[in-house]
Amino acid sequence: MAVLGLALLCASLGRAADPHGQEGAVLEAVLRHQISLFLDDEARARRAVICLGIDPGEAPQGASREFLARFKEPLVRSLGECERRGSGAVEGVTRAAAVLVTAGPIDWVADDEAWVRVTHFRSKRDSAMRTYRVVRDPSGWVSLGPIYRDGPV
């Protein structure tokens, strides 16, 4: 039993030490899903931006330039380039409308499945925190959407 516990601990440490590999791919999948949700045709016409952050568990951080480059999306910014205001989120320089999205931490439920906490803030009235299910399939990591827990009372 102790051997199994040690093996699980080593496996989880291995995943945690791989931010640009498997964890990076999981975060990319869930953030791509958010980009598709928040940068619809109307948002693009208004030149709204989406500001991405990663929360490893201690505090949200702006996504690095190299991580943002994975998205090849001109309307994506790092979290630090945007501001949270009472009237709504804006890009710091242009004051364009924005949505702030943070992904993480990751909860590994299997080798091929992760649950990722995602928060978004567009305004005080339009903000939320949800857990998304991300799975590995033959094409790579894919976000299947939010997990809804419901049951009888």
**Could you report the per-residue pLDDT of 34-79, keeping only the tens digit for each?**
999 999 999 999 999 999 999 999 899 999 999 999 999 999 999 9
Q: How far apart are CA 39 and CA 36, in angstroms?
A: 6
Q: How far apart are CA 18 and CA 100, in angstroms?
A: 25
Q: How far apart are CA 5 and CA 9, in angstroms?
A: 6
What pLDDT, on a 0 to 100 scale, did the predictor assign at position 20?
Answer: 58
The reported pTM is 0.84
Token pair listed for 105 = 């931490």
* Domains of the chain: residue spans and CATH: 2-146 (3.10.450)
Task: Identify the DSSP state of 97.
Answer: B
